[in-house]
Amino acid sequence: MVLQQMANLEQTLARPGGGIAAEGAGDRSGLRPADFFSELDGSECQPTILILDDLDINRRLLRAMLKTAPYRVLEAKCVSDALKILEHDTVDLLILDLMMPEMSGLEFCQRIKSNRRTQLMPVLMLTSVQGIENEIAGISSGADEFLTKPLHPDVVRTRIRAMLRNKAAIDSLEEAETILFALAQAVEKRDKYTGDHCDRLAQFSVMLGAAMGLSRPQLVALHRGGYMHEIGKVCVPDAILFKKGPLTEEEWVVMRAHTTKGEEICRPMTTLAPVLPIIRNHHERWDGSGYPDGLKGEEIPLLARVLQMADIYDALTTARPQKPALSRQDTGQVFEDEVKRGWRDPELVALFLESLRKHEERAAADMAVHAENGDSRGVEEHFQNSLDNMRRQLLSGR
Ligand SMILES: [Fe+2]
């Protein structure tokens, strides 16, 4: 029975059942989509600054100047290193030297500004060559600011602060993310069996995140990840998504690509940056046998591992055409079998099950107190209320 449940679970997590929200998802908790979408505007995140300069001494000097502010500073000594960082990381500001051996700063800046993904990243160009013509060339190449060496630390810091403020303002204008949310909901509504899956995922992810003591921005990212993680399924044809019976290997390739497609769709929204690892890596497995990157153990982004716990739990406790729902109490065995198979993070599984138990105990205690006053609500309703209240309080910062 357990093995059958596990086989079904694998199928279920990848198939439409693996994630989908209902009409009005979010209403039950009082958190409408717009509420939590305004939560993570990037202002609480540490801005990331990339310094591209071939000279070690220059990079060290700039790093020392930026030490007084809470920046995350990355360094690249050549254009190819910088491109690798820009491909995989979210950078809020680029400091660029005009003279570089591989490619001139002017050429690199033009490249950055002509790429849709990086065009809004502010660029501060530096040079030790005196002359107004350099400044004109720098600004013409797309640089937002231009400074000539020797650099005055206060001037550098002030310019950077102003540039980051502008960047934050631009980021907050990215209302296109609301459209992405609507798209994620539309994807979810394609499947009539999934009910308010995404809403539940958001809820149970936040429950586990809170038990782990994660920060509020991380909880907000988890909450948003619950709704957005399957958005890439918009690229999976109905014939595959709703196919009755097993998928062919070619169809699995298309199905698995929902992770990378989802990341591609959301990547232009810089405010969604904390959610991208959830979208991309929510099908990885602890032993490295998952997809799309085959990440192993703690290489799998933490928030993606947290969301997985909620995803598995929801797949088990929800009835689908191919399987009945398990009771909450019966899910523990399947979770433990998943750990034995090497697929799940054992510590997170233990914490998730313990957290469920605590909410159950609290619900039972609440029910007993309310029953004395003639309240007929059952333990399930109290359990749900307990989770709803916790989510509302955590995400509203109270
Ligand atoms: Fe998925």
- Distance between Cα 322 and ligand 1 center (Å): 18
In this prediction, residue 26 carries a pLDDT of: 31
The Cα–Cα gap between 316 and 335 comes to: 10
- Distance between Cα 172 and ligand 1 center (Å): 28
- Distance between Cα 17 and ligand 1 center (Å): 9
In this prediction, residue 35 carries a pLDDT of: 38
In this prediction, residue 398 carries a pLDDT of: 44
In this prediction, residue 171 carries a pLDDT of: 66
Kindly give, in sequence order, each residue whose CB lies less than 8 Å from that of residue 366, ignoring residues fewer than 6 positions away. Answer: 382, 385, 386
Q: DSSP characters for 301-319?
A: -HHHHHHHHHHHHHHHHS-
In this prediction, residue 169 carries a pLDDT of: 57
- Give the residue among 260, 261, 256, 264 at the shortest CA–CA distance from 240: 256
In this prediction, residue 154 carries a pLDDT of: 87
- Distance between Cα 69 and ligand 1 center (Å): 38
In this prediction, residue 281 carries a pLDDT of: 97
In this prediction, residue 176 carries a pLDDT of: 59
- Distance between Cα 279 and ligand 1 center (Å): 8
- Distance between Cα 257 and ligand 1 center (Å): 9
In this prediction, residue 21 carries a pLDDT of: 27
The Cα–Cα gap between 41 and 171 comes to: 7
In this prediction, residue 94 carries a pLDDT of: 96
Q: What is the pLDDT along the chain (398 residues), one digit of tens a residue?
A: 444 544 444 554 555 444 322 222 333 333 333 333 333 334 445 789 999 999 999 999 999 999 877 889 999 999 999 999 998 888 999 999 988 887 889 999 999 988 878 888 999 999 988 888 888 888 888 898 899 988 998 889 888 987 887 676 566 555 556 677 777 777 777 766 565 778 788 889 999 999 999 998 899 899 889 888 999 998 999 899 888 889 999 999 999 999 999 999 888 887 888 999 999 999 999 999 999 999 999 999 999 999 999 999 988 888 877 778 888 888 889 899 989 999 999 999 999 999 999 888 888 888 887 777 777 767 777 787 777 777 777 766 54
- Distance between Cα 141 and ligand 1 center (Å): 41
- Distance between Cα 117 and ligand 1 center (Å): 24
In this prediction, residue 38 carries a pLDDT of: 38
- Distance between Cα 124 and ligand 1 center (Å): 39
- Distance between Cα 13 and ligand 1 center (Å): 6
- Give the residue among 272, 312, 309, 278 at the shortest CA–CA distance from 295: 278
Q: Which two tokens stand for residue 313?
A: 């739990």
Domains plus CATH for the chain? 2-20+190-396 (1.10.3210.10), 48-172 (3.40.50.2300)
3-state percent breakdown (helix, strand, coil) of the chain, nearest 5: 60, 5, 35
